[in-house]
Amino acid sequence: MSSDIEALLQEHRKFEPPEAFRAAAQPNDPGIYERAAADPEAYWAEQAAKLEWMTPYERVLDWKPPHAQWFVGGKLNVSVNCLDRHIRTARRNKAALVFEGEPGDKRTLTYWDLYVAVNQFGNVLRSLGVKKGDRVAIYLPMIPEAVIAMLGCARIGAIHSVVFGGFSPESLRDRINDSQCKVLITSDGGYRRGQVVPLKRNADKALEETPSIEHVVVVQRRPGITSGEAFDEIKEGRDHWWHRLMRHAPIWCEPETMDAEDILFVLYTSGTTGKPKGIVHTTAGYLVGAETSSRIVFDLKEDDVFWCTADVGWVTGHTYLAYGPLANGATCVMYEGAPDWPEKDRFWEICEKYGVTILYTAPTAIRAFMKWGAHWPAKHDLSRLRLLGSVGEPINPEAWMWYREHIGHNRCPIVDTWWQTETGSIVISPLPGITATTPGSATTPLPGYSASLLHADGTEIGVGGGLLALTRPWPSMLRTIWGDDERYVQTYFAKWKDRPDLYFPGDGAKRDEDGYFWILGRVDDVLNVAGHRIGTMEVESALVEHPAVAEAAVVGKAHDLKGQAIAAFVTLREGFKYDISLRDELRQFVGDKIGAIARPDDILFSADLPKTRSGKIMRRLLRDIAEGRALGDTTTLADPNVVNSLKEMYESQES
């Protein structure tokens, strides 16, 4: 069967960078693409020169597909690049992290404050016997100590493995055991929608089956409580309060000299086999990718206030809350809680309060804001915003337009970014001072990257739909899967058997006449309706274009004649109510918009959709519901109850 994916949705709106933005942007010369393509290694050497090296590298790239080594022979330390070099300048007293907890508590850490805390924590880790190459698990809420812990590990050469604070004890246990972590850093709790998440209790449950853990460091997040309330069980010699260890720790910690290819962190992402994959990122290449993309995609200026809303438990939080912006000396906002607590304008209140100039958030959040209504952001002064970003999954054109109009007030460029845990940093995105943007498209690969659309046989597709491939190595690419290099090769570099140099991210995409890429969703999610291969993103985008629809998820269900029929799960905007006539109207709307072949057979209306804790819709579970199967693994869901209620609703509709 052909791997082509049909391109159904047409989008012709285009927005040039505002002239004032273009004039001040860095970069703003379109020639950067041509220069980078002519000599990619020279381009990456130019970017690497912006870092501080302890020993210069000898070679930019050693590429033996599918394994790459970048900046061979070079030595540096990530924490030095994120902190030490800034405190020697006027940035010493500049805000590095501006934190707000969900209850409303606030802290601002200057670059000097962060530098001192990271040095102290590096010494704490060394006092607990942590050495270069040891693994440290971090299981914390969104508080400054999470960033301090990451940078403290980087300072002494320990490998950190951050586990999202919403994960279960079982998920924490499995990740600790896979990488054999020596120390766990957790908290007595974190706040989410007014409730305390019992992190220490979850950690204690996980630690019943984690023999490699020797010490547990606990951050006191809930002031005034007694240790007995925080610890279900105090293990003498194992459990330590963070603040007590830090109290007498020296404020200078000699940074470890790290080889360019030494491992910086392992971050686990879901695997199709059910076993999470430990994605390995190394020191120099990752930092070059993070620093460069933060600077050129977000056009960072000295007075910017940058807010990446992602949790540090995800790669977006690693790269665009911690390492990328801090390597550039930026000021970062960090918020602990939910966007709708205590009211649905919490994000906009934060933007106004701290004068946020760059906002980077997920399409699922944007669609939630659409659902809640434009009156919430309208209550706040968002005039300081100058650039908006989108990350996590493809953004529907209408959600893109809502973001532009109601948050950016039609003056802020939008950078819709495509990348993955595995790529380490942004791969496809507009450059805001150069690229004319189109709603719903991530546009073109950044300078230094090369992407293509391919058939299953490896031949290239010009205009149309196909399989996305990255055709050249890049510095921040994953190096392997922890403990399973064969899985690394088979998962990412075995799609085209005679081309082990081609990286397959698992996504389908289309390319339009302008050469712009449109991500159409995971190839696993592509629908096959009567011989037509249709990307879920296009049908979902057509549904969201209807004024009643805030969010939609589309899956295929088995059909005797067509092979697959389309089932749509739809969430309505505030003020709209379900009735049978609306269901019929939506089916016709999709048919009129992109063709009768894409018209959903089933539409189910729901108050919410099953999502992971990073905000991605779990289409696999929706397929289980649509086909009447037993539900698969629900441990990564933000709210497991959603999927059960959806199953009951769908079954009642079918009957």
CATH number (domain holding residue 123): 3.40.50.980
Residue 82 located in a structural domain: no
Query: Which pLDDT does position 228 carry in this prediction?
Result: 47
Domain end position, chosen among 256, 282, 312: 256
Whether the predicted pLDDT of 154 surpasses 50: yes
State the CATH number of the domain containing residue 598. Answer: 3.30.300.30
User: Given pLDDT bands bounded at 50, 70 and 90, which one contains residue 469?
Assistant: very high
Residue 45 located in a structural domain: no
Q: Which residues form the domain of 152?
A: 110-256
Residue 483 located in a structural domain: no
Residue 632 located in a structural domain: yes
Residue 402 located in a structural domain: no
Min mean pLDDT across 110-119, 123-132, 604-613, 646-655 is at 646-655
Residue 199 located in a structural domain: yes
Mean pLDDT for 588-604 is: 89
Residue 26 located in a structural domain: no
| Residue 4, CA distances (Å) to 12, 437, 462 in order | 22, 25, 11
Global pTM? 0.88
Whether the predicted pLDDT of 644 surpasses 90: no
Query: Is residue 613 a contact partner of residue 636, using CB atoms and an 8 Å limit?
Result: yes
Domain end position, chosen among 227, 256, 285: 256
Domain end position, chosen among 196, 224, 256: 256
Q: Which residue pairs, CB below 8 angstroms and at least 24 apart, start in 202-211?
A: 202/139, 202/168, 202/169, 202/172, 203/139, 203/169, 203/172, 204/231, 204/232, 204/233, 205/169, 206/169, 206/170, 206/172, 206/173, 206/176, 207/173, 209/173, 209/177, 210/173, 210/176, 210/177, 210/181, 210/184
Distance CA 149, CA 146 (A): 5
Tens digit of each residue's pLDDT (9 = 90 or more) over 415-450: 999 999 999 999 999 999 999 999 999 999 999 999
Query: Which pLDDT does position 225 carry in this prediction?
Result: 54
- Number of domains making up the chain: 2
Mean pLDDT for 13-17 is: 96
Residue 287 located in a structural domain: no
